[in-house]
């Protein structure tokens, strides 16, 4: 009898312990999966789309009308062009190498005794390998599939079953596997959202989606020019970076000379990739405080600024073809509307790279600060508009909507599902003719044969 009670208690006791352990582990899983690194908004081009639209964290299918300005007069949406960056991806080989070197440094040389270092050393495994080659991950497929489903909600009359069935919806992509796979995921989201199954072909066009490779002058003056990124290199040797490198060395308890700008970049990537790919707030993130993260963000912004944006005149020209492709389509649709014919191209989806979108934003004069980003003006650039994490996270998208309105044809532009007023225009949904007037110089120029040729 006594023995039975003891056994029962033992079972009960175990049950409670088990229940307690179970609940604790559940809540751990939950809290770590919901936990966002405090430095996540500084990840720049390695940042998560949800960081620019935080309401998506709670509901990935939500669309937020309060972020969009509708045209003032009575209008119908008649066309959508969506130019989208590929989704979340694995690191490239070059960066995997840097990450592995840094991991080995922590493993072998770091003597610091804090929790996050022991966690890296004993629990974390280096799972990034050199054959990953920047491939799209599951999160990246979701980025595109869910975006497609939100776009159906945003534009039900354009992304409709009829338009998909009658060829009014077109998908184009760069040939890079991460872009092709993003486009496949987008198409899957489209079919799921509309609950249909239709053959929808995907066209590859690198001239359109990654012309930067083919622009001779760009390749010579920037891509293969060691001095093109001089401002970034100077910043890497400057006082702000030196301070962050010393703090890193102090955290690891290694000599200052052991930490280079490459190790800083690798550590930052480890934090960023673990979060964007696996949703983990990993111990790597503990190696940075917010001021270090601002420094790392600035390095990335300097790179984008000088390699893809205002830093060199030729940078933006690598998207001239894409610019003309957009406006010639809008012109065709304008003609169709004016001649009362039906609109043949309801939706054009084009999937490319940060290197496709940043030059296009630059052509449009977006995110242009009064002073250039330099190695010496980190402090005064604190409030700059050129912050790549805000405009080109994974799956970043430029949406150009054409409306047929009572008072004419109008254009609405949205960046990452938020309305954007084109610089130099006061109306957030201007008349198409005013947009063309605004960009007249580009419309009558920006000819890639001329600008990219080296005489």
Ligand X SMILES: *[C@@H]1O[C@H](CO)[C@@H](O)[C@H](O)[C@H]1NC(C)=O
In the complex, the residues that contact ligand X under the rule CB under 6 A are: 55, 62, 64, 66-67, 105, 108-109, 135-136, 177, 180-181, 199, 201, 205, 207-208, 220-221, 225, 227-228, 254, 258, 321, 325, 380, 382-383
Exactly one of 86, 144, 312, 353 is catalytic; name it.
86
C-alpha to C-alpha distance for 12 and 6, rounded to whole angstroms: 10
* Pick 113 or 383: Cβ nearer ligand X: 383
Q: Minimum distance between the CB of residue 233 and ligand X, rounded to whole angstroms?
A: 11
C-alpha to C-alpha distance for 5 and 311, rounded to whole angstroms: 79
* Nearest one of 121, 94, 97, 100 to 252, comparing CA atoms: 121
Beta strands 169-173 and 347-352: pairing type? parallel
* Pick 400 or 405: Cβ nearer ligand X: 400
Q: Minimum distance between the CB of residue 348 and ligand X, rounded to whole angstroms?
A: 10
Number of helices (H), then strands (E), belonging to the chain: the values are 19, 7
Q: Is 58 exposed, middle or buried (0-12, 13-18, 19+ CB in 10 A)?
A: exposed
* Pick 378 or 404: Cβ nearer ligand X: 378
First to last CA, the chain: 101
Residue 144 a catalytic site member = no
Q: Minimum distance between the CB of residue 163 and ligand X, rounded to whole angstroms?
A: 13
C-alpha to C-alpha distance for 43 and 41, rounded to whole angstroms: 6
Write out the two tokens for 113.
Answer: 């005794």
Q: Minimum distance between the CB of residue 314 and ligand X, rounded to whole angstroms?
A: 9
Signed CA dihedral, 361, 367, 368, 371: sign only: negative
Residues 147, 186: contact at Cβ < 8 Å? yes
C-alpha to C-alpha distance for 420 and 74, rounded to whole angstroms: 20
Is residue 404 classed as helix, strand or coil in its secondary structure?
strand
Residues 359, 442: contact at Cβ < 8 Å? no
Q: Minimum distance between the CB of residue 221 and ligand X, rounded to whole angstroms?
A: 4
Q: Minimum distance between the CB of residue 138 and ligand X, rounded to whole angstroms?
A: 8
Q: Minimum distance between the CB of residue 410 and ligand X, rounded to whole angstroms?
A: 23
Write out the two tokens for 154.
Answer: 């945003």
Query: Looking at residue 403, what DSSP letter applies?
Result: E
C-alpha to C-alpha distance for 289 and 32, rounded to whole angstroms: 19
In the β-sheet with 75-85, what is the strand arrangement from edge to edge? 202-204, 169-173, 347-352, 75-85, 397-405, 408-415, 418-420
Residues 411, 330: contact at Cβ < 8 Å? yes
* Pick 38 or 54: Cβ nearer ligand X: 54
* Nearest one of 155, 156, 80, 79 to 337, comparing CA atoms: 79
C-alpha to C-alpha distance for 389 and 396, rounded to whole angstroms: 10
Q: Minimum distance between the CB of residue 61 and ligand X, rounded to whole angstroms?
A: 11
Catalytic machinery residues: 86
């Amino acid at each position: 009898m006594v023995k039975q009670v003891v056994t029962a208690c033992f079972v009960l006791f175990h049950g409670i312990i088990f229940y307690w352990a179970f609940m604790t582990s559940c809540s751990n899983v939950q809290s770590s999966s919901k936990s966002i690194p405090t430095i996540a908004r500084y990840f720049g081009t390695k940042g998560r789309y949800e960081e620019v639209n935080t309401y998506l964290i709670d509901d990935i299918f939500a669309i937020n009308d309060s972020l969009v300005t509708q045209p003032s007069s009575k209008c119908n949406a008649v066309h959508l062009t969506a130019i989208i960056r590929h989704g979340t991806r694995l690191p490239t080989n070059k960066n995997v190498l840097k990450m592995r070197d840094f991991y080995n440094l922590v493993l072998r040389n770091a003597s610091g005794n804090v929790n996050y270092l022991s966690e890296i050393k004993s629990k974390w495994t280096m799972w990034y390998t050199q054959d990953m080659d920047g491939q799209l991950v599951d999160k990246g497929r979701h980025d595109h599939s869910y975006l497609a489903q939100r776009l159906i909600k945003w534009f039900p009359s354009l992304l409709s079953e009829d338009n998909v069935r009658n060829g009014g919806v077109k998908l184009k992509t760069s040939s890079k596997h991460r872009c092709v796979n993003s486009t496949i995921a987008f198409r899957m989201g489209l079919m799921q959202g509309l609950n249909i199954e239709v053959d929808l072909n995907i066209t590859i066009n690198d001239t359109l989606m990654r012309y930067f490779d083919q622009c001779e002058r760009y390749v010579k003056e920037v891509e293969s020019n060691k001095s093109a990124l001089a401002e970034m290199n100077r910043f890497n040797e400057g006082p702000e970076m030196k301070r962050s490198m010393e703090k890193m060395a102090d955290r690891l308890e290694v000599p200052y000379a052991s930490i280079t700008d490459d190790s800083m970049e690798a550590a930052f990537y480890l934090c960023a990739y673990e979060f964007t790919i696996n949703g983990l707030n990993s111990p790597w993130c503990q190696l940075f405080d917010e001021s270090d993260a601002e420094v790392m963000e600035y390095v990335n912004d300097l790179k984008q600024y000088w390699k893809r944006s205002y830093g060199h005149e030729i940078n933006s020209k690598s998207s001239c073809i894409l610019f003309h492709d957009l406006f010639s389509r809008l012109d065709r649709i304008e003609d169709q509307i004016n001649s009362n014919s039906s609109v043949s191209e309801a939706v054009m989806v084009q999937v490319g790279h940060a290197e496709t979108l940043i030059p296009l934003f630059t052509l449009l004069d977006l995110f242009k600060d009064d002073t250039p980003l330099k190695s010496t003006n980190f402090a005064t650039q604190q409030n700059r508009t050129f912050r790549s994490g805000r405009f080109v996270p994974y799956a970043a998208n430029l949406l150009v909507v054409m409306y047929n309105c009572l008072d004419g044809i109008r254009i609405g532009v949205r960046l990452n599902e938020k309305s954007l007023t084109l610089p130099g225009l006061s109306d957030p949904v201007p008349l198409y003719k005013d947009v063309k007037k605004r960009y007249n110089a580009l419309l009558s120029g920006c000819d890639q044969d001329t600008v990219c040729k080296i005489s």
